[in-house]
Chain A
Amino acid sequence: MRHDPFESLLEQHLSGVLDAEEREELETHLKECPACRLRLNVLEDCRRINEEDEVPATFSSSWRHKIQEQEEFPMKKKTPGWTKWLAAAAAVALVLVGTLLTGNELDRALGRRTQEGAQAPEGGIGFYSSINSRAGTGEDMATYQPAPDAAEPMMWAAETATGKEAQGLKIIRRISMTSATRNFQSDYEAIRNALGTAGGRIENADIRTAGNGLRTAYLTLRLPADQLDTFAGMLKTLGNLEAFSESAEDVSEQYSDTDSRLRTQQAKMERLMALLEKAVSVEDLISLESAIADTQYLIDSYTGQLQGIDSRVNDATLTMTLKEMSVLDTAEASQETLWDRIFSGVSHMWQLLRQWAADAAVFLAAILPIITIIVIVFLIVRAIIKRRIKK
């Protein structure tokens, strides 16, 4: 037995978009069709199937840990074949030469970077240590954000988020950050204390110890949204900030949709109650009772959804990965050993490599228009040649 017209009515009923007439049609049909009644009940239960299922508390930290442990860095799949390699080599050479030729020029024009050697004390020994100590004090952050412009959309997103909130819009905010610290225990305590002051709570905390004895804490924190920026600012001062990312999800539309559905049902409830007072026959009473029960169910479910959104809007989520850093990273310039110097040598090279990568990115962006023109010209020429050959 097929119930196609009613199946679509059922679906619309489940998403709460039926008007009064259609609803009446559906209700009349449901009364005389047990099959559709069963179908509706089952589908309603389907929507709430996972209400009693708890997500294991360790799930969140566990997949985040797995991602951290990933050996292979995510890359786009490479298409094999020597032509691709040749093209890649040519591109690398272009970027390499281009960056070397234009990089210094650009920097000088912008007055951005002074010669690094000039800041080092005399002699070769102090050279790396001076670089290394600079790395600890903010230079590190600067190189992690190669292009200064890259930080701007992020700030813009955050500003619009707070601006929108002022207009009564519903924004769910999330911050995710990673820091490395050498004072793991005390920083962890500091986070807990600051969280208490901010009126937040730990939703999940998982501390794991790696093979080398270094610990990593995966924290999921919930705190009042208006405290988020202050709290995140405080977290940034702990250890070395390695990554920071912020998102603002606008759920205003979803909220107002649900809200208007709730209002519709509430208005309907009032009408039903008024009818109930006037009802005389038992039959009327029974059908009104059943309509009231349905409406109450919808009111409860919409109210629950709104409360859920409200709680996520009021309480922002901050996920933090706090990594313990080896003391090797923090050698003082005054007591440098051979190891310290090797270490700072390597880290200096790393700094340079990253600097170079940033320069390369700038160069690539700069030559993009030229490449576009070349490609267009190439395509036109090819098209012309093809046409000639056809003729």
Chain B
Amino acid sequence: MGILLEMAKEVAFTRPRDETIAAFEALALPMERQVYYVCLNMMGDHLDAQDCAQEALLKAFRAFPGFEGRSKFSTWLYRIATNVCLDALRRRNETVSLEVMRESGWEVPDGAPEAYERLEESERRRLIKQALSELAPDYRAAMMLVDLNGLGYQEAAEVLEVPLGTVKSRVSRARDAMLKILSRQPELFPGSARHKGERRENHEA
């Protein structure tokens, strides 16, 4: 990687346009799937994902001569893609309820783990994606990098440009929130707490 980076930088500074493009492509092409998936997991649908992924790669290309190799190219590219998505989400101006992130104290409803295991894999993925889109963007980004893309905490911290401890706490809270959201899917978790609670209330009434 080191040699390649040196070559790429040399090319970016001294050679004509086409050489820069080729050098950038050589580094970015192995990453394009990951970039796309980062955007897909952040934005939640293919249309926005493609827009954001393209914008990210274009931005990266424009900034390429300024890329100094202080972080890995992949980390740098993840950072640009994540920021493009966070900006796009801000523009979209969706209000995400922070309530679920703040609540503490929560029990897994009876039967929920078993019900989850019985679900089809594609159905489980759909539920996770749904829950992911309900997380606040900063938390979604942290969980996306660590749990979906399998980055280490250290690298995720470099991508998000926040301290290591912040990433760890965001990931941890995002996981809790995701489990909370998942266990509130009444049709999928027949024994969910809310159901039981309602039933109990009915009994009392």
Q: Which residues of A contact B (CB under 8 A)?
A: 1, 7, 15, 34-35, 37-39, 41-43, 45-53, 55-56, 59-60, 62-64, 66-68, 70, 72-77, 144, 146, 150, 153-154, 156-157, 172, 174-178, 242-249, 317, 319, 321, 354, 357, 361
How close is A152's CB to chain B, nearest CB, in angstroms?
A: 10
How close is B70's CB to chain A, nearest CB, in angstroms?
A: 15
Interface-located stretch among B88-96, B118-126, B154-162, B194-202: B118-126
Q: A49–B128 contact, CB under 8 A?
A: yes
Query: In the bound complex, what is the Cα–Cα distance between A46 and B127 (angstroms)?
Result: 11
Secondary structure class of chain A's binding surface, majority of residues: mixed
Q: B21–A59 contact, CB under 8 A?
A: no
- Tell me which residues across on chain A come within 8 A of B54, comparing CB atoms: 59, 62-63, 66
- Tell me which residues across on chain B come within 8 A of A48, comparing CB atoms: 125
Partner of A178 from the list B6, B22, B113 (CB cut-off 8 Å) is B22
Query: In the bound complex, what is the Cα–Cα distance between A150 and B122 (angstroms)?
Result: 50
Query: In the bound complex, what is the Cα–Cα distance between A317 and B10 (angstroms)?
Result: 23
The size bracket of the interface on B is 35 or more
- Tell me which residues across on chain A come within 8 A of B1, comparing CB atoms: 249
How close is B194's CB to chain A, nearest CB, in angstroms?
A: 16
- Tell me which residues across on chain B come within 8 A of A7, comparing CB atoms: 172
- Tell me which residues across on chain B come within 8 A of A144, comparing CB atoms: 15-16, 19
Q: A38–B108 contact, CB under 8 A?
A: yes
Q: A172–B113 contact, CB under 8 A?
A: no
How close is A329's CB to chain B, nearest CB, in angstroms?
A: 15
Q: B22–A76 contact, CB under 8 A?
A: no
Q: A319–B29 contact, CB under 8 A?
A: yes
- Tell me which residues across on chain A come within 8 A of B10, comparing CB atoms: 150
Q: B3–A245 contact, CB under 8 A?
A: no
Interface residues of B in 70-105 (CB under 8 A from A): 105
Query: In the bound complex, what is the Cα–Cα distance between A31 and B126 (angstroms)?
Result: 26
Q: Which residue of A lies closest to B107 (CB)?
A: A1
How close is B8's CB to chain A, nearest CB, in angstroms?
A: 8
B167 at the interface (CB under 8 A from A): no
